Structure formats: C-alpha cells, structure tokens
A and B are shown apart, each in its own frame.
Chain A
C-alpha cells in the first residue's frame, strides 16, 4: 500500500515542527512504500494527496494546549474549512477541497505538535523535546495503515480504484 507522509510547515520557529518530525523519521529509516513530502504551505496538499491511499500529515498546531503537546486532531476539527481566500487554503480547506475533488486518501491521520512561537530561528525547547513522541506516534500510524491493508488482503502494489475515488 502506498502511504504518504507529509511534514507541513515553513522553516520558521515551531512552524517547522512537521518537517522536523518527518526528517527525524527519514533519518531513522522508514518502511518501504512510504513516500515523503515536506511542503511549506497547505496549498500544496491538494496536488500532493492525489493518488495516495493513506496519508499521515504532521503539522504544528495552535489548539490552546501546552507547547510541545502531541495530539491527533480529527480532520473535521482542523478549523474553518470555509476560510478560503486567495492567500491560501489552510489545512482544513485543502483537505476539504481534496475530498470534494475526490483526491483525498481513504485513510488520513493527523499528528500535531502544539507550537509555542511560529516565527524566529529554530524550534522552541518544548517542541524540540516533543519530537521523539511525535515521531513515535507517526510511526504507529504508518504501521496501523500498513497492517490494515495487510489484513484486508489488499495486494501491495494494487492501484487505487473504486470507492471514494470516482
């Protein structure tokens, strides 16, 4: 099964949490069949998601939690999907539009790291400390997706078809 791993964020401050988690996983080694993408902005999700059966999105969050908290928001809770402007889609807007265009993966997980500061140089201490936990959770998601695919007996390289991709 093809799994897309997306680390979303700019290189500034804790916005870089997503790419930092993904870079860490890449350095540690990822299972075969996992594709990696690290776009700076959510607009890129629209094209990135096309053709993926499953995706794990890692992003920095502003959810009112303690900085460094690792959590797994459901896609519906990602914010106001209608905040579509020409300056960008936002994560929720991009995911909703991808779904409306039949480009959304059948399985999607979001792992978020609560940010402290979204500007400046480098990650804040709480976010840096949260990277191993975030990486562990992402790895668990990837394993779960791969296992579910195995249990349903889907052949590994079978192209996406049918439900949800009309």
Chain B
C-alpha cells in the first residue's frame, strides 16, 4: 500500500486573516488539497441591507483595514451610476491619486513585511531590519507617502472617511498638494532603488499556465473604471460579470470560490494588471517592466513581487500626474437624488478586481449588495498552484514543504478577512471515517 503523507499548515503567518492548508498525499500523488479559510464569515452583504446610500462609503471602508479605498471606490461608483451623478474630471483624477495612495501602502507593506522574509530565509521584517536596515527604512519612508495621500483625501490613513457621492468631503489645497508632490519627487528614486534590491534577491520561479484577469481602460492604467478582460480574450462590462464568472461555495472555506464559466480558476492582482495593461504603464514603470522582462515572459505568480514594485512606480507617476494637472473641482459636493436602481461596478484593489453589484430602493437605501473581493477570486487559483507545486517538494522535510507552500500562498497576498463575508453558510456534515 502506498504511504499516505499529510501536510498541515495550521495558521498562516504573514497573511491577512485566518486560513490553513490541508494536503493529503498518496505516494507522490496529491489526493486532497484544501486552502481552508476558517475566519468566521463576516456578513457584510447582509448588514449593509437597508443602509442609506450616504453611509455606504464609510461603512464599506470597514471591510478591510488595508484596502478600504477599494471598497469605497467600487461602492461610490456603483451608487453614482444608479443615481446618475456626474463626476467632475477633477474628482475623477483625485480618486486616482487616492487609489495610488492605497496601492503604495499595500504593496510596500506586502513586499517588505510579508514577502521579503521568504526570499531572505528570515522569520520576519524585524530580522530584516537587523540585517538590511536601509531597505526596511526605505520601504517605510515610501509607504509613509501612501499614508499621507490617504490622510489628505480620507482624513486618516486607517479607516479613512471623506469619500462622498460625486466627490470628497474636503478637497486638498494647492499648497498641500504641492508639498506632497515635492516629497513624492524626492522619494521617487528610492522606489526604483527598492525594486532593484528586490531584483537582487533569490525570488523563486514557478512558471505556469494562468488565465489573467484585470480591468482595462482604453486610455490609462485602469484603477477606477474599465472592462474586465482576460489573457484568453474575455472582455466583458462589469454588469456582465455573472455571465462570465461563477461563484461557488466549497465546504472547506468560508469564502466563495470563483471560476471563469466553462474554463476554471483565474488570477487577479498586480501581476495580471501589469501583464494586461503594460502598454499603459508610465515611462518609468515601463522601463522597470523591461528590466524584469525575463520574469514576465510566461505567467509566474512568484513574479508578483516585481509587479508590485512596478506598480509602486506607477502609483508615484499617477499621483504626480494628478497633482501637476490639478484644478479644484467646480463642485466637490454635488447634489444628488436617490432612486431605485441597480448597477455593477469594478475597480482595481491592490490585490485585484473588486466587483460589486448594488441595488437600491427609491429612498436610496440598499436593497441588495453583492461583493466579490479579489482574494475569493484567487482562491481556486492558489489551490491549483499548490497542487502543481507540492509534488516537486516531496523530497523535502515537512517543515520545508510547509514553508514553501506558505511562501507560494503569500505570492497572491491573500486577504482572507476581505474574502469571508458571504451571505449563507451551509455545512455538509459527513460521518467521520
């Protein structure tokens, strides 16, 4: 009889939220592999029902402490679509600045605090601070600029407020923006230095066939609007999401699994964005992309860290472009009238496409809302990745297999807390064997 070997990773370190991995092997065959998300469901979709439209941007910001802007942006655009609120071009551009701030915060934290320890064989960023203090300092300085952007438009760097229908509660002054631009210009070179440092690390290679999915805008690197496209030719409007994608519940996870109908798992996030929108990268980001060209020839989730670094440069350039072209909006708080309606919208969260489908009552209160965050979309993809990876690790001791699997999961920067808020939980109970 073939020996059965079980690898369990009880609780992930350096990942958002509570998850575990269960792998059962018979010989060199993976017979069971489950990325288990056991963080309790959070029921956001339920308790947002009946809430007033004006409350939504602040409420959805509480879904995630690391990507609140993404939730605010997806919901505010859906509401504006339903109520027919026109968006002033200046507001549109400030929203790109706001999103750039969140990308900076999220990517830099992931690169240095969550991912870098894997490449250096260290336990955490604390250990890196002792061996590579300059790099840790640099990532903190760069990330601080992301915090400043969020503070400027959202009043505070964590749980920001300030997003309102049609605009912002407060528009920054020219002086505030100019001072931010000075600091961004001064720090820009450091972002390039940091990316080069990551390029010098032994980042593993794990090339594989992956269908990439990201938003695409005809004229710019998509953040707040666009069609949902894939590397295999999918091209749909956010309203057609359900025609192209399906969400299913699986027993072992409190997050839903997503698939492209008729095809299977897919990847969202920085790697998908960079590869599908490389023609819209800023010159500096495009140059960085070219310098990592060999890492982007195929699709390799392990190269996501470089995609994040490239998007850090992109975020700098989006921010500077916005500030340089800034004209205060004519009306930062336009009047709007609620009505019954429904709209779907998607924006690019740091971790990938964040889709929402929102229906309102005539009063503007939420009748129904569905939220599909990036991590639930990547879940099935992560399992596929691990299914291919594990057989190549069998010569290693269990703790080494565990380390390698955890590192592979971290390439996706999963935010488990974001992913767990589906509406109904059905448990199938099977007799113990």
Within the complex, the shortest CB–CB distance from A35 to chain B, in Å, comes to: 20
Q: Residue B129 contacts which of A40, A88, A97 (CB distance < 8 angstroms)?
A: A97
A88 to chain B, nearest CB (A): 7
Of the candidate stretches B25-33, B106-114, B319-327, the one touching chain A is: B106-114
B264 at the interface (CB under 8 A from A): no
| Alpha-carbon distance A102/B109, docked complex (angstroms) | 20
A88 contacts across to B, CB distance below 8 A: 65
Q: Let me know if A82 and B123 touch, CB within 8 A.
A: yes
How many whole Å from B308's CB to the nearest CB in chain A? 12
* A100-B133 in contact given A82-B124, A82-B126, A85-B14 (Cβ < 8 Å): yes
Query: Within 8 Å of chain A (Cβ to Cβ): is B70?
Result: no
Q: Give the residue name and chain of the A residue nearest to B13 (CB).
A: A82
A40, A81, A87 pick with most chain B CB within 10 angstroms: A87
How far apart sit A100 and B113, CA to CA, in the bound complex (Å)? Answer: 14
Inter-chain contacts of A46 with B (CB < 8 A): 140
B417 contacts A97, CB within 8 Å? no
- Say whether A19 faces chain B, with CB atoms less than 8 Å apart: no
Cα distance A81–B124 in the bound complex, in angstroms: 10
Q: In the complex, are the beta carbons of A86 and B126 less than 8 A apart? A: no
**Contact residues of A between 56 and 85, Cβ < 8 Å to B:** 81-82, 84-85
CA distance A84 to B126 in the complex (A): 9
A interface, size bucket? 10 to 19
- Contacts A100-B130, A101-B136, A101-B137 hold; do A84 and B125 have CB atoms under 8 A apart? yes
Q: Is B371 an interface residue (CB 8 A)?
A: no
A97 touches B126 (CB 8 A): yes
- Which residue of B is nearest A96, CB measured? B126
Among A47, A87, A96, A100, the residue within 8 A (CB) of B66 is A87
With a 10 A CB-CB cut-off, give which of B114, B126, B133, B417 has the most chain A CB atoms.
Answer: B126
B113 partner residues in chain A, CB cutoff 8 A: 84-86
Is there a chain A Cβ closer than 8 Å to B15's Cβ?
A: yes
Question: Which residue of A has the minimal Cβ distance to B15?
Answer: A85
Inter-subunit contact B126/A87 (CB<8 Å): no
Distance to closest chain B CB from A119 (angstroms): 13
List the B residue with the shortest CB-CB distance to A101.
B129
Contacts of B114 in A (CB 8 A): 85-86
How near does chain B come to A166, taking the closest CB pair, in angstroms? 10
A41 contacts partner chain B, Cβ-Cβ < 8 Å: yes
* B247 proximal to A (CB < 8 A): no
Q: In the complex where A47-B144, A85-B15, A87-B417 touch, is A97 in contact with B158 (Cβ < 8 A)?
A: no
Chain B interface size band reads 20 to 34
CB 8 Å contact bits of B1-35 with A (1 = contact, 0 = none) = 00000000000011110000000000000000000
Within B109-167, which residues are at the interface with A (CB < 8 Å)? 109-110, 113-114, 123-126, 129-130, 133, 136-137, 140, 144, 156, 158
Chain B residue with Cβ nearest A98: B129
For the complex formed, measure the closest distance between the CB of B318 and the CB atoms of chain A, giving whole angstroms.
21
Taken residue by residue from 91 to 110, chain B's Cβ proximity to chain A (1 for < 8 Å, 0 otherwise) reads as 00000000000000010011
A7 at the interface (CB under 8 A from B): no
Cβ of A93 within 8 Å of any chain B Cβ, yes or no, is: yes
| Bound-complex Cα distance A93 to B140 (A) | 14
Binary contact track B62-102/A, C-beta < 8 Å → 1, others 0? 00011000000000000000000000000000000000000
Chain B 400-427 interface mask (CB, 8 Å, partner A; 1/0): 0000000000000000010000000000
Which residues of chain A come closer than 8 Å to B65, judged between CB atoms?
A: 87-88
Tell me, in angstroms, the Cα distance from A43 to B110 when the chains sit together. 15
Residue of B with least CB distance to A100: B129
Please state if A86 and B133 are interface contacts (CB–CB under 8 Å): no
**Cα of A96 to Cα of B129 in the assembled complex, Å:** 10
Q: Which residues of B contact A86 (CB under 8 A)?
A: 16, 66, 106, 109-110, 113-114
Shortest CB–CB separation between residue B422 and chain A, in angstroms? 21
Q: Determine which of A43, A84, A101 lies in contact with B124 in the assembled complex, contact meaning CB atoms within 8 Å.
A: A84
Asked whether A41 lies within 8 Å of B126 as measured between CB atoms, the reply is no
Q: Are B140 and A84 in contact (CB under 8 A)?
A: no
Q: Give chain A nearest CB distance to B9 CB in angstroms.
A: 16
Chain B residues near A82 (CB-CB < 8 A): 13, 123-124, 126
Known: A41-B158, A82-B123, A101-B136. A87 touches B16 (CB 8 A): yes
Q: How many Å lie between the Cα of A96 and that of B130 in the bound state?
A: 11
Residues of A within 8 A of B13 (CB): 82
Cα distance, A91 to B177, chains bound together (Å): 32
**Most chain-B Cβ atoms within 10 A of its Cβ — which of A47, A93, A97?**
A97
Q: Mark B289-324, 1 if CB is under 8 A from A, else 0.
A: 000000000000000000000000000000000000
- Residues of chain B with a CB closer than 8 A to A43's CB: 158
CB atoms of A101 and B133 under 8 A apart: yes
Q: Mark B151-187, 1 if CB is under 8 A from A, else 0.
A: 0000010100000000000000000000000000000
Q: Which chain A residues lie closer than 8 Å to B133 at the CB level?
A: 100-102
Residue of A nearest to B65 (CB): A87
User: Can you list 19 A-B contacts with CB-CB less than 8 angstroms, sorted by A residue number?
Assistant: A40-B156, A82-B123, A82-B126, A84-B14, A84-B113, A84-B125, A84-B126, A85-B14, A85-B16, A86-B16, A86-B66, A86-B106, A86-B110, A88-B65, A97-B125, A97-B129, A100-B126, A101-B137, A101-B140
